[in-house]
Amino acid sequence: MIRLRGPVAAVLLASGSVAFTLFILEGVFRILHVPVGTVQINRATVRRSADSRLAFELRPASVAHAEVEYRVNAVGLRGPEVTVGKPDGVRRLAVLGDSIAFGYWVAEEDAFPRQLERLLGEIRGAGPRVEVLDFGVPGYNLDQEIEQLRAKVLDFAPDVVVVAFCLNDLEGIFSYELGLVEDRAARGQSLLGRLREELVARSMLFSWIEYRLAGFETRRSFVRARNPLSGPLYAQALGAQKAALVARFGVLKSLLAARAIPGVVAVFPAFGMRFERYPYRDLHRAVVEAAHESGLIAVDLVDCYAAYEFRDVRVDVIHPNPMGHRIAAHAIRDALCGRGLLCPGGSPPGPPCTAYRKADFPAVRGY
């Protein structure tokens, strides 16, 4: 029998101890289902796009298991399987947006596109079935959403298009998701990088470590500051921001008008402060005015959210929780019905968007 002594034995003992500790921690992370957050979600469900204007897109037929399950269907949408061609007897609503529309932190059935589909289905009775297609992609900005409409969405023959407008969409400061995609591509160029990717793809422990390291600066500057808006355009006068919105909404409207498709802009608030001292109402008005001037319908969701304690409708400063998604679905449904779109008989009877209770919805957590 060979007996190792001295430095070699010490190194082997230390290595074995580290490996055993990592093995135990990996088991604990799996048993406790420790959240691994946006890094692992992005890795599993997002890929580079051949369309340079999109830069990245959802990966068809992919799934990520994190705080909830994120499943992408065969045509690259979060939601049940659908065909590109619209079935007979079906009306379609397409939702464009970023991680709010995609439904970060909430189960698929709790994201507002699926809740909107249920709400519309409840009032149509024996009429044509309404299919809501969720084209939300985490990290998208308004320019990417317009390109997505041109390159993909119109092929699905929607009857109505809803843009879920987040206040940071004007300049798209969330290049975080794009950065993750580019980092993975760069790692694939070296053996060490590929080994690292393989490790974090298979290990919850190392995924969690990467997630915490990658997201630290983003959370520090974004969550703690409670400010989703940054970049040079947001520092300019409100008129410059409105002009930029009118230009982009004009392109959006022209694409829709060519096929006589109504367009709706739903303006989501930031959720980082009490609504009674909400600082972005002027920007909300600018978005609504720009949408109207461009020939689009606009619905400002802050009016519904203002009836609630802000912590009761959010997961974090950008993303609503299941009740927050229901409030958005309710307000969008009422805006559609009030204009005779996808629901007969005008606005449906029932409680207003301000009458929900937190206890009636599942609790969720983000990072």
Q: What are the pLDDT digits (tens) for 85-101? A: 999 999 999 999 999 99
* Lookup: tokens for 64: 């990520």
Between the alpha carbon of residue 59 and those of residues 4, 42, 77, 78, 217, the distances in Å are 51, 10, 9, 10, 26
Strand runs labelled E in the chain: 46-48, 56-58, 62-65, 69-72, 90-96, 129-134, 160-165, 263-267, 297-300
Identify any residues that bridge with 96 across adjacent strands, giving them in sequence order: 163
Q: What is the mean pLDDT of residues 304-329?
A: 96
Residue ranges matching CATH 3.40.50.1110 in the chain: 74-173+228-354
Distance (Å, whole) CA 348 – CA 123: 7
pLDDT of residue 228: 52
Backbone angles phi, psi at 296, to 5 degrees: -105, 155
Helices (H) and strands (E) in the chain, counts: 13, 9
Strand, helix or coil for residue 186: helix
The 10 Å CB-count burial string (b at 16+, else e) for 301-323 is bbbbbeebebeebbbbbbbbbbb
Residue 222 binned pLDDT confidence (cut-offs 50, 70, 90)? very low
Instruction: Name the CATH code of domain 74-173+228-354 (choices 3.40.50.1110, 3.50.50.60, 3.40.1260.10, 3.30.420.10).
Output: 3.40.50.1110
Which candidate, 161, 139, 166, 133, places its Cα nearest to that of 149?
Answer: 161
25 confidence band (pLDDT: 50, 70, 90): confident
**pLDDT classification of 351: cutoffs 50, 70, 90:** confident
Closest among 129, 133, 88 to 113, alpha carbons compared: 133
pLDDT at 233 over 60: no
Are residues 341 and 124 in contact, defined by beta-carbon separation less than 8 angstroms? no
Q: Name the token pair of 135.
A: 């084209």
- Listed in sequence order, the residues at least 6 apart from 187 whose beta carbon sits closer than 8 Å to its beta carbon are 193, 194, 196, 197
Percent with pLDDT over 90 in the chain? 56
The one-letter code for the residue type at 44 is A
The residue type found at 129 is R
Q: Give, for 102, the enclosing helix (H) or strand (E).
A: helix 99-102
- From the list 182, 100, 92, 184, the residue with the least C-alpha distance to 141 is 100
Those residues whose C-beta lies under 8 Å from the C-beta of residue 320, and which sit 6 or more positions away, are 100, 106, 112, 268, 271, 313, 314, 327, 328
